[in-house]
Amino acid sequence: MRRRPAAWLPLLLLAFAPLLLGATPTPPPTPVPTPIPPSPVLNISPTSGPPGTKVTVTGSNFPANQPVPIYIDSPERQLGVAKSDAAGNLAQAIVVIPNGIPEGSHVICGAAGVQPACGQFQAQPAPTPTPTAVPTPTPTAVPSPTPTETPSASPSATPVAGSGSSGGGGLLGSLFRFPFILFPLLLLLALAAAIFLIVRSRRTPPGRLPPTVVTHRGVGPAGNPYNRPGTPGARLGGTGQSARPGSPLTPGSELPPAGDAAAGTGLETASGASGGVPPGTEPTDAVPPGSVPAGSREPGSAGRSAGPAGNSPVPDPAAQPPTGPDQADLAAPPPPPDENQGPGRPAAGGGGGQEPGGPLRPFQGDRASSGDIWTPPGGRRAAGSGYDEPPDLPEPGD
Amino acid sequence: MSSNAAARRSQPVLADAFAGSLLRDAALVIGFALMVGILAQVVIPLPFTPVPVTGQTFGVLVGGLALGWRRALAGMAVYALAGLAGVPWFAQGHGGWQALYLPSFGYILGFVVAASLLGELAERRLDRSPLTTLAAMAAGSVVIYLFGVTWLAATLHVSLLKGIQLGVLPFLIGDAIKSLLAAGLLPGAWRLVGRNH
């Protein structure tokens, strides 16, 4: 599938980027080839205090211009990130001993080399708020927190902010140096690709139609396999089947696809787009005459058209022999133009040449070529034999 | 031809059992990121290792299996990007651009890939039986460790072996428990939903 690589591409890049990162231990910043680099040294001050103590961290012999994460006891318990200068010295970074740290000996480390440099820190119990509890802890605990905090108070308040803004380029510079910027961009790319694919998967492909069940509304004999409802590709050929004039359908020929066949050829989809008349039902019984669409039934036939309503919008006269005088009229040559009819008036116009009070005259134009169907004025049609009900004709002078 | 093969291969996942559309997808994506962020705060520190145990891995892998690869990828990308933007929902309340310097950020990148991988495996019906779910969980864990250990070793400048000691070995038992839990949870959920999908 074509859309998968587009989405997996950022993931693949994401997958290989850390490997590349891990494969390059310390490539660029080694202009001076020192065979054995001196081990980094980390100094902390003060070396003891309760949780909340601000500790100043300095160091040297670190890789130049590198972010140095400062953590306590384990890399996961990170306190902040310092940044080494061009000489590998660690500028003063201030970290805060976190609350909840147990009393005892801890190590504060900076990890920017092969081995992290660490310094010992003795955590003392937190000072209790009540003054009566002073005798229980060690007496040195009380004076130590406040005096040591004040001298070490520097403009860089929080360790993270100080480390992030240290260095000329600041945050942007570090983002563009390290492959760090690569990962947010890849994440953005992955997110965009995922959203795009989710939205795209919600849309139906344009060339694919939902499956439809085609029901053939034929009036053929029961058991005719061609008239079974829901048989795709059913063939015409049963009794009462008719083909649309001009269509390539002939008795025994294959039906067009469902999308074409549902367009008024007597085939209905499962959604009931063309009616709801059960197969084999005479449609004139179920559909009111006024609601029969024009062209669905042939006027002048003896109440028995070649197919049900909607089955043959324009029956083929050649395929069906005339069954009555009306049909004979259909086959007769057209009469001379009526005097009431204007010169440019089409012969198929509804009521155009109708004489008031006279008998209904069926359409006499070129039906096959025009594709038009005669309808009486007012849209009413005769049911049954075709002319049981005289249509409402316009009054003279209308 | 290829689209037919893809359509045949892409099976519904658990999230598809619920009716809805784009709004549901958006809710699932945001909810997935939120769930992982909450599980990240469930921290069990281990005294013998620097990396604590969190509930993230379980949430990521099970969420990937339940959501499918597109929603899982989107959810984890939202999680990582929102965390980098400042939402403090990484482990132990970390968040912001500084998290890129965390030695554990590789695990977060691994979450993105692993969740997508497991979503893809779920769309191949590997979450329908306990055994295949176990295999999928193992594959997802391997992906997470691949990212996590590599990043850990690179940022701490320690060897890969040391990184494995710090970031893999202490968690294998916990991963086995999580995988067993997922192997019972997901096929059970499918039985509840019904296997007609």
Range ranked top by mean pLDDT from A232-246, A282-296, B50-64: B50-64
Q: State how far the Cα of B31 lies from the Cα of B67, in Å rounded to an integer.
A: 11
User: Å from B140 to nearest chain A CA?
Assistant: 13
Q: Do A193 and B3 touch (CB under 8 A)?
A: no
Task: State residue B76's pLDDT score.
Answer: 93
Residues of A in Cβ contact (< 8 Å) with B100: 178, 180, 183-184
Q: Does position A398 have pLDDT exceeding 70, yes or no?
A: no
Q: Does position A25 have pLDDT exceeding 90, yes or no?
A: no
**Pick from A7-21, A82-96, A110-124, B142-156: least confident:** A7-21
Q: Does position A393 have pLDDT exceeding 90, yes or no?
A: no
CB nearest to B70's CB, from A19, A73, A201: A201
Range ranked top by mean pLDDT from A55-59, A269-273, A291-295, A384-388: A55-59
Residues of B in Cβ contact (< 8 Å) with A11: 73, 112-113, 116
CB nearest to A180's CB, from B69, B77, B100: B100
Q: b/e for A78-89, b at 16 or more Cβ within 10 A?
A: bbbbbbbeeebe
Q: State how far the Cα of A397 lies from the Cα of A379, in Å rounded to an integer.
A: 19
Please name the residues in contact with A278: beta carbons below 8 A apart, sequence gap of 6 or more: A217
Task: State residue A371's pLDDT score.
Answer: 45
Task: State residue A200's pLDDT score.
Answer: 78
Does B5 touch chain A if contact means CB atoms closer than 8 Å? yes
The sheet carrying A54-60 orders its strands as A41-45, A54-60, A90-96
Q: Do A202 and B21 touch (CB under 8 A)?
A: yes
- Bigger pLDDT: A306 or B11? B11
Alpha helices in B40-171 (DSSP H): 56-67, 69-85, 105-123, 130-156, 160-167
- Bigger pLDDT: B130 or B50? B130
How far apart are the two ends of chain A, measured CA to CA in Å? Answer: 68
pLDDT per position as a tens digit, A359-375? 555 555 444 444 445 55
User: Å from B100 to nearest chain A CA?
Assistant: 7
A55: helix, strand or coil: strand
Q: Do A188 and B77 touch (CB under 8 A)?
A: yes
User: Å from B133 to nearest chain A CA?
Assistant: 22
Task: State residue A32's pLDDT score.
Answer: 44
- Interface with chain B: mutation pick from A185, A187, A197, highest number of B CBs within 10 Å: A187
Nearest to A150 by CA among A67, A234, A94, A232: A94
Residues of B in Cβ contact (< 8 Å) with A202: 21-22, 25
Q: Does position A164 have pLDDT exceeding 80, yes or no?
A: no
Residues of B in Cβ contact (< 8 Å) with A191: 73-74, 77-78, 81
Nearest to B136 by CA among B67, B170, B183: B183
Complete DSSP assignment for A76-100: TSEEEEEEB-TTSPEEEEEEEPPTT
Does B79 touch chain A if contact means CB atoms closer than 8 Å? no
Task: State residue A247's pLDDT score.
Answer: 43
Verdict on whether the full-model pTM lies above 0.90: no
Cis peptide before A46 (omega within 30 of 0): yes
Q: Does position A86 have pLDDT exceeding 70, yes or no?
A: yes
Cβ–Cβ < 8 Å for A393, A385: no
For range B142-153, the mean pLDDT: 89
pLDDT per position as a tens digit, B66-111? 888 888 999 999 999 999 888 898 887 888 887 888 888 889 999 9
Q: Does position A17 have pLDDT exceeding 60, yes or no?
A: no
For range A338-342, the mean pLDDT: 44
Q: b/e for A289-327, b at 16 or more Cβ within 10 A?
A: eeebeebbbbbbbeeebbbbbbbbbbbbeeebebeeebb
CB nearest to B77's CB, from A15, A112, A194: A194
- Bigger pLDDT: A368 or A150? A368
- Bigger pLDDT: A60 or A21? A60
**Pick from A58-72, A320-334, B68-82, B109-123: least confident:** A320-334
Task: State residue A127's pLDDT score.
Answer: 65
Q: Does position A306 have pLDDT exceeding 50, yes or no?
A: no
Q: Do B25 and A202 touch (CB under 8 A)?
A: yes
Task: State residue A95's pLDDT score.
Answer: 84
Q: Do A75 and B103 touch (CB under 8 A)?
A: yes
User: Å from B193 to nearest chain A CA?
Assistant: 22
Does B161 touch chain A if contact means CB atoms closer than 8 Å? no
CB nearest to B98's CB, from A113, A160, A191: A160
What percent of chain B clears pLDDT 90, i.e. is strictly above it? 23
Supply the ipTM of this predicted assembly: 0.77
Task: State residue A337's pLDDT score.
Answer: 45
Q: Does position B166 have pLDDT exceeding 70, yes or no?
A: yes
A214: helix, strand or coil: strand
Q: Does position A210 have pLDDT exceeding 80, yes or no?
A: no
Residues of A in Cβ contact (< 8 Å) with B64: none
For range A121-149, the mean pLDDT: 52
User: What mean pLDDT, rounded, does chain A reach?
Assistant: 54
Q: Does position A323 have pLDDT exceeding 80, yes or no?
A: no
- Bigger pLDDT: B167 or A229? B167
Task: State residue A258's pLDDT score.
Answer: 42
Interface size between A and B, measured as CB pairs under 8 A? 132
Residues of A in Cβ contact (< 8 Å) with B2: 1-2
Task: State residue A287's pLDDT score.
Answer: 40
Q: Which two tokens stand for residue A283?
A: 């449609």
Q: Do B50 and A116 touch (CB under 8 A)?
A: no
Does B28 touch chain A if contact means CB atoms closer than 8 Å? no
Does B84 touch chain A if contact means CB atoms closer than 8 Å? yes
Q: Do A194 and B98 touch (CB under 8 A)?
A: no
For range A277-285, the mean pLDDT: 40
DSSP state of A337: P
- Interface with chain A: mutation pick from B109, B152, B171, highest number of A CBs within 10 Å: B109
What percent of chain A clears pLDDT 90, i.e. is strictly above it? 0
Q: Do B150 and A22 touch (CB under 8 A)?
A: yes
Is the Cα dihedral A261, A267, A270, A274 positive or negative? Answer: positive
Task: State residue A298's pLDDT score.
Answer: 39
CB nearest to B112's CB, from A81, A190, A201: A190
What percent of chain A clears pLDDT 70, i.e. is strictly above it? 26
For range B113-119, the mean pLDDT: 92
